[in-house]
């Protein structure tokens, strides 16, 4: 399965080349950092995360919006290490059931790095990912689904850049959101909830 995962990661990296402007500069930085990551991935365990129930709809959207990625991701999707890393909060009691990420490169990922992260975020339909921040610079690339980032609706193909400690939030529409994400800089410190800006 590591060969198939490596193919998927290579195809996701190629998508970063579509970014321009400030997002494009961050994509170049991420590619440079990814080039320094060891080539052999460590074993990983698939999760039993409840989020996987949204995978069929996300993959159907990906077939429409990025069929070349759907062909690679489809056989792997349920076997990836999906997780949710926030502490439970009474304000959003069901968020952990409807969002999470599978990280391929990062501090606890198959390809180990303390400098850069790369993975997929999946958020179920009609979900609100409340305001949060993190020291890492973050780049999102929407693969399928439509979501609102800080009052702007973003469609497949869009890139969204968050500077270090910039407060941001997302809200999904009728379909699940599947997005490529990268982190650079301080990728070890976690995200924390923030008050509304």
pLDDT, one tens digit per residue, over 86-113 is: 877 777 888 999 999 999 999 999 999 9
* Residue 22 lies in domain: 2-193
Beta carbons within 10 angstroms of residue 6's beta carbon: 16
Give strand pairing partners of 117.
183
Residue 2 bridge partners (DSSP): none
Percentage of residues of the chain with pLDDT beyond 70: 98
CATH number of the domain that residue 41 is part of: 2.60.120.10
Q: How far apart are CA 107 and CA 116, in angstroms?
A: 8
Q: Indicate the number of domains in the chain.
A: 1
Is residue 175 over pLDDT 70? Answer: yes
Is the pLDDT score of 2 beyond 90? no
Q: How confident is the model at residue 197 (pLDDT cuts 50, 70, 90)?
A: very low
Half-sphere exposure of 65 (CA within 13 A, CB side): 22
Cα-based distances in Å from 145 to 89, 140, 159: 26, 13, 13
Burial of 24 (0-12, 13-18, 19+ CB in 10 A): middle
Segment 23-73, tens digit of pLDDT: 999 999 999 999 999 888 998 888 889 999 999 999 999 999 999 999 999
Calculate the dihedral angle through the C-alpha atoms of 47, 54, 18, 7, rounding to the nearest 10 degrees: 40
Cα 7 from Cα 1, distance rounded (Å):
10
C-alpha 41 chain-centroid distance: 19
Residue 132 neighbours by CB under 8 Å, 6+ apart: 86, 167, 168, 169, 191, 192, 193, 194
């Amino acid at each position: 399965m590591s060969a198939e995962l490596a193919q998927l990661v290579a195809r996701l990296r190629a998508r970063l080349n579509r970014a321009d402007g400030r997002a494009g500069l961050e994509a170049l930085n991420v590619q440079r950092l990814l080039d320094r990551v060891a080539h052999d991935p460590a074993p990983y365990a698939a999760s039993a995360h409840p989020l996987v129930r949204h995978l069929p709809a996300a993959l159907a959207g990906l077939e429409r919006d990025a069929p070349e990625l759907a062909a690679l991701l489809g056989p792997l999707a349920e076997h990836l290490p999906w997780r949710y890393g926030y502490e439970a909060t009474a304000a959003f009691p069901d968020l952990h059931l409807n969002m999470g990420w599978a990280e391929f490169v990062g501090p606890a990922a198959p390809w180990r790095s303390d400098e850069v992260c790369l993975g997929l975020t999946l958020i179920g339909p009609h979900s609100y990912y409340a305001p949060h921040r993190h020291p890492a610079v973050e780049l999102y690339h929407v693969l399928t689904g439509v979501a609102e980032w800080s009052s702007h609706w973003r469609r497949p193909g869009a890139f969204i850049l968050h500077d270090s400690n910039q407060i941001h939030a997302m809200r999904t529409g009728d379909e699940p959101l599947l997005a490529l994400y990268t982190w650079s800089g301080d990728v070890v410190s976690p995200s924390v909830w923030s008050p509304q800006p």
